[in-house]
Structure 1
Amino acid sequence: MIRYSLVTQKNPREIVLLKASPCIWGHCSFCDYIDDNSTDINSNILFNENILKKVTGKYKTLEIINSGSCFELPIETLEYIKSIVVSKHIKKLFFESHWLYKDRLHEMDDFFKVPIIFKCGIETFDHNFRNKVLRKGAVFSGPAEVAKYFKSICLLVGIKGQTTEMIKKDIEYLLKYFQYGCVNIFTQNSTSIERDEKLINWFKENYSFLDEEKNIEVLWNNTDFGVGTICNS
């Protein structure tokens, strides 16, 4: 499991994969990344500190990810990150958050006092597919509501049962409503969710232009950010 890397293409930044308490939701049907957490808080604190010591401040931007949301990281880890923000002159942070924490994002803003781009795993704006098939646990009226809270979203592409019309609408909303975005091409993992190669090939033929979009990152492989193992988040 690789825990530290550099993202050098779009929005250059350092990225770390930390350990936290279990995900607040924890029911997503496509996710086996949830196993990368621990209820041993003291162990998480020490583990995370060793990873964070690798941060150099090279790009003045740092992304923190874990198998859930930033709110599940130990407070001691958050305090250590804050010390790094100061000592390494970090000017921007990227954090992940489940939709359920949408009303608490200001707590992180107040704590770190630097701009934070919060990323939310929406996966798709199709309500039934998102909540009945993917079991995401995110209920909202549409992209405008999501954009009130999050500048960045993550979409998931390439699952059997997903349609081209769903994906067209998802990408339309991504480009219209959000400043940043990440499109994750589904990697077959240990869950029962199946990868749709035909749909992925269609996406490549029609949406490879996203690779040229400044603030849209397409993860054709789930380790394209340089962290993690061959599993899907």
Structure 2
Amino acid sequence: MIRYSDIINKNQREIVLLKASPCVWGKCTFCDYIEDNNSDTQFNVNFNKEILKNVTGKHKVLEVINSGSCFELPKETLQDIKNIIDSKGIKKLFFESHWIYRNRLEEMKQLFNIPIMFKCGIETFDNHFRCEVLKKGAVFSGPEEVSKYFNSICLMVGIKGQTKSMIKTDIEYLLKYFKHGCVNIYMENSTPFKRDEELISWFRDNYSFLEENDNIEILWNNTDFGVGGN
């Protein structure tokens, strides 16, 4: 498992994949990423300290991800991140957060005192598919409500059961309501969900132009940011 990477294309930044306590939601039917978490807080603290030693501050931007939300990182790890931000002169931070923490984002802003790009995994704005099929646990009225809390969202493309119409709407909302976005092309894992290769091919033919947008990142493979593993 690769835990540190230097993203040198769009939105240049360093990125670390840390360990945290179990995802507070943990019910997404398509996700086995949560298997990377650990209930041993002290183990996580020590483990994360070693990963964070790789951060140089070269781009003045840092992204921190884990198998859940930034709020599940140990408090000591958060302080370690804060120390690195201060010592390396980092000016911007990327964090991930589940929708369930939407009313606590200010806590992180006050702790780090630098601009934070909060990324929220919406997956799709189709309510039935998101809530009943993917079991995402994010209930909201529409993109306007999401944009009140999050300036960046993650969408999923290519799961069997999705439609072209869903994806068209999702991309439309992404471009209209959000400053930044990440489109994750679904990779099969240990869950029963399968890739829709025809849908992915259609997306590639019709939406590859998004790669020219500085604020949109497409992960054709889930390790395209240089971290993670099989």
Q: Output the TM-score relative to the length of structure 1.
A: 0.98
For 1:33, the equivalent position in structure 2 comes to 33
1:171 aligns with 2:171: yes
Amino acid at match of 2:117: I
Report the alpha carbon displacement of residue 181 of structure 1 after superposing the two structures with TM: 0.2
For 1:54, the equivalent position in structure 2 comes to 54
For 1:19, the equivalent position in structure 2 comes to 19
Separation of aligned partners in 1, 2:198 and 2:41: 43
Secondary structure (helix, strand or coil) at the match of 1:218 reads strand
For 1:133, the equivalent position in structure 2 comes to 133
Amino acid at match of 2:71: F
Separation of aligned partners in 1, 2:157 and 2:12: 24
For 2:66, the equivalent position in structure 1 comes to 66
Secondary structure (helix, strand or coil) at the match of 1:121 reads strand
Report the alpha carbon displacement of residue 221 of structure 1 after superposing the two structures with TM: 0.6
Aligned length: 230
For 1:8, the equivalent position in structure 2 comes to 8
Which runs of structure 1 show a deviation greater than 2 angstroms over 4 or more consecutive aligned residues? Answer: none
For 1:202, the equivalent position in structure 2 comes to 202
Which sections of structure 2, spanning at least 5 residues, go unmatched? Answer: none
Report the alpha carbon displacement of residue 173 of structure 1 after superposing the two structures with TM: 0.1
Separation of aligned partners in 2, 1:55 and 1:48: 12
Separation of aligned partners in 1, 2:178 and 2:24: 24
For 2:147, the equivalent position in structure 1 comes to 147
For 1:157, the equivalent position in structure 2 comes to 157
Report the alpha carbon displacement of residue 130 of structure 1 after superposing the two structures with TM: 0.2
Report the alpha carbon displacement of residue 80 of structure 1 after superposing the two structures with TM: 0.3
Report the alpha carbon displacement of residue 121 of structure 1 after superposing the two structures with TM: 0.0
Which sections of structure 1, spanning at least 5 residues, go unmatched? Answer: none
Deviations for 1:21-59, whole angstroms, at most 9, x for unmatched residues?
000100001101010000000000000000001100000
Separation of aligned partners in 2, 1:73 and 1:188: 27
Report the alpha carbon displacement of residue 99 of structure 1 after superposing the two structures with TM: 0.0
1:96 aligns with 2:82: no
For 1:191, the equivalent position in structure 2 comes to 191
Identity between Structure 1 and Structure 2 (%): 70
Q: Output the TM-score relative to the length of structure 2.
A: 1.00
Amino acid at match of 1:33: Y
RMSD of equivalent CA atoms: 0.4
For 1:111, the equivalent position in structure 2 comes to 111
Amino acid at match of 1:126: D
For 2:219, the equivalent position in structure 1 comes to 219
Separation of aligned partners in 1, 2:222 and 2:48: 22
Secondary structure (helix, strand or coil) at the match of 1:149 reads coil
Separation of aligned partners in 1, 2:47 and 2:131: 33
